[in-house]
Each structure stands twice: as structure tokens, then as C-alpha cells.
Amino acid sequence: MKHTASLIFAFSLFSAPVLAEDKDAPGLMQRGAEMFLEGLRQEMSPALDNLQELAEQAGPSMMNFLAEMGPAFADLLDEVEDWSRYSAPEILPNGDIIIRRKPDQEIDPPSTGETDI
């Protein structure tokens, strides 16, 4: 409760000048946010360019893979009810990919509510 009151007080201190500013002129908070977002866009630009390049290179092969393997994956998704019961996929030396089921853990029998004495 003490933290909530502190947050409300801090918000009121920072938001009062912003709310009181002229609606037509951008305030300091708005200009600061715009500058921050512009800087973020400039920093992210090379990474986004690399991502686009990767998509252009891998796109055709991924589309082919999905066209051929999509139905098999759909069948697999229908078959498996709980993915947490399986280990991560492994690639064998011969190129086969296997997904091993984790060993079943001992399940305690449901309690009947009665205690053994």
C-alpha cells in the first residue's frame, strides 16, 4: 500500500506539468519521447536490415520446407497432447532428427482423504 501511494504521488508530480501544457505545442515529455524513439530507430536500423536480408535468403527454402513438411507437423501437433513430456529434438550423426519422450515419473496414487494409522 505504501508503494502504491508513492507511485501515485510520483505520477502526479510528473504528469501535472504535462497535462497543464498547451495542447497545440509539443511538451518536453513528448519531445523527449520522440527523441528517444528516433534514437532507438537509428540503433535498430542495422539489425532490422540484417533481418530483412536473412528473410530474403532463407524465405524460399523455408516456404519449400513448410510446403513439404507442413502436413506432417500438423499431424504431429494433433498427436502430442503435452510437449513438456518430451526432450528437445536431437540431430543424430546420420541426419535423423528425433524427439525423445522423457521417462514417466512415478505418480502418487490419489489420496482418499483417510489417514493410515
Phi and psi (nearest 5°) for 70?
-50, -50
Amino acid at 2: K
Enter the pTM of the model. Answer: 0.34
Chain mean pLDDT for the chain: 75
Quick: pLDDT tens for 13-45. 555 555 555 565 678 888 888 888 888 888 888
Q: What is the structure's pLDDT at 24? A: 59
